[in-house]
A = this chain, B = another copy of it.
Amino acid sequence: MKRYEKFADQIAQLIRSGMLAPGDKVPSVRHASRTYGVSPSTVFQAYYLLEDRGLISARPRSGYFVRELAQHPLAEQETSAQSARTTAVDVSELVFSVLDSLKDPHTVPFGSAFPSPELFPLPRLARSMAHALRDMPAHAVIADMTAGNPDLRRQIALRYMVSGVRLALEELVISNGALEALNLCLQCVTSPGDLVAIEAPAFYATLQVLERLQLQAVEIPVHPREGIDLATLADSLARLPVKACWFMSSLQNPLGASMSEEKKRALYELLQQHQVPLIEDDVYAELYYGSQPPKPVKSFDRDGLVMHCGSFSKSLAPGYRVGWVAGGRYAEQISRLKLMTTISPSVPAQAAIADYLQHGGYDRHLRKLRHALESQQDAMLASAARHFPPGTRVSRPSGGYFLWFEFPEAVDSLQLFQLALAQGISLAPGPIFSATRGFRNCARLNHGHPWTAQSERAMEVLGRILAAF
C-alpha cells in the first residue's frame, strides 16, 4: 500500500468511527502534513482519493469537509429475529432463480457471491501451475488423489499455526472448495430428519444443503455486529435434540457479523458441554480489514469437536475449487465420505496453489485485496447513504465484500429483485437467506467489484425503485 493510501485509510477510519462527523472540516493540508508527519503532496493525494470514494468533498476556498451523505446516515440493524424457530427447509427453487440472474455478464453484479476476478493474481497463479506441473512426478497425479498434495497440506497447517490454531496434519482433508467440505461434515454427523442449528439469516447454500439432506433447521438469531444469540442457542440445545451447529463465527454471510473472541470461547464451552459438534464455515477468514486476523472457534477446540472449513476461492483462486476442513475427531470419516463421492479435488489445482503459497507472495496479495474491499465498502456505504430512502439500515462488517440492507417495511425485496433485474442490476433478496423466507425487506449487496460510475448509477436506480415502494 502506498503512503497516501495509508493516510487516506486513517482519515476514513476517523470518519467511520464518528470522530469526524458529517459536515466537519477535515484537517487542512498544512496542518495534516505537520501532525501526521507526511508530505503535503501525500495529503493532497489522500484527499483526492477520499473525495473519489465519496467520503469528503471540497468547498471552494474553504478546504475539505466530511460529506453530507450522512444527512441520513444509515443505521445499523437490530438482532435478526427474536426466538429460535424449527422448520423444514424449502428455498432451493428461489435460490436458483436468483443465481440464474447472475449469468448475464452485463448485469451489475451486486447479487454475486464472488468478488471481481480482477482482484486475484490469476497470471501469477498460472505461473505457479506451470512450475508445479513441470516438477510433478507422474505417480503424484494418482497418489495425491487420496492423500491430497502434501505441500499444500503443510502450507495450510502452517497458516493455522501462525494464526494461533494448533492442529495435527492428519486432521486436514482437502476438498472441492469449502462447500464440499461443509456437505461432507454435515453428512458425517447427521441422518435424514435430524435437527441442525443454523443462523438466521444464513448463507443460502446452508439452506439448500439441509433441504437436500432432509434435515430440519433450528434458526438462531444473529446480531449484525456480535453474531449469534448465545442465550437462544443455549436454550435450543437444552430443549431440542440438536445434532450439529453450522455457524460462521467471523464475517457471517450475509450479515457480516464477527463474534468476539470471548464469545467464541463461550460458544465452544456451550457446545462442549452438550457434546454437539460445530461445523465452522470460515471462508472469509482472510478478508478482515483490521490488522489482526479474527481467531476461529476452532482455536479453543480441545477435543476435536469443531470442523473448521476454509477455502482459497474467496481469497486467491476462484474456480480452482480447492478448500479444506480441519475435521477434528471426524477427519477420517470425512475423508472416507469424500473418497466415495468425488475422490479428490483436482491434483494440478492443488499443486498450483501449493506452489503459489510457497513462492507467490500470498500475504502481499491479501493486503492489497483487503484494502480494495475496504475502499469499495466505503464507496458503497457512501453511495447508499446518498441514494437509499430514509429508514434504511445497513450492516458495518469489518471485512469481506457484502453489505446487508434492511429497507423500510413497505419494501418487498423479491419484487425489488425483479424490478432491479429488469434494469440490469442483480442483488440477493433477503428471503433466500431464510428457511422460512423471512427478511422480506432485506437484501445483500456485493461490493467486491471496483467501484465505478456504473456502480454509482446502479445505486441511484435502486434508490429510485426503493422510493417507489
Contact = CB atoms under 8 A, between A and B. Distances in A.
Contacts of A62: none
Given A192-B192, A348-B348, A341 B141 contact: no
A348 B320 contact: yes
A210 B403 CA distance: 42
A318 B142 contact: yes
Contact of A319 (B129, B192, B214, B347): B347
A346 B343 contact: no
A344 B321 contact: yes
Nearest to A187: B212
A139 interface: yes
Nearest to A139: B117
Contact of A342 (B122, B138, B180, B349): B180
A372 interface: no
Contact of A96 (B177, B205, B336): B336
Nearest to A351: B319
B130 A343 contact: no
B343 A345 contact: no
Interface residues of A, number: 60
Contacts of A318: 141-142, 145
B92 A336 contact: yes
A337 interface: yes
Given A340-B205, A340-B209, A117 B133 contact: no
Nearest to A96: B336
B103 A146 contact: yes
A363 interface: no
Contact of A130 (B130, B145, B322): B130
Nearest to A209: B340
17 contacts: A103-B147, A105-B139, A117-B139, A120-B138, A129-B348, A130-B133, A142-B318, A145-B319, A176-B176, A177-B342, A177-B343, A179-B341, A212-B337, A212-B341, A319-B344, A320-B348, A345-B346
In the A-B complex, the 7 residue pairs with the closest CB atoms = A141-B319, A346-B346, A319-B347, A126-B133, A176-B342, A117-B138, A346-B349
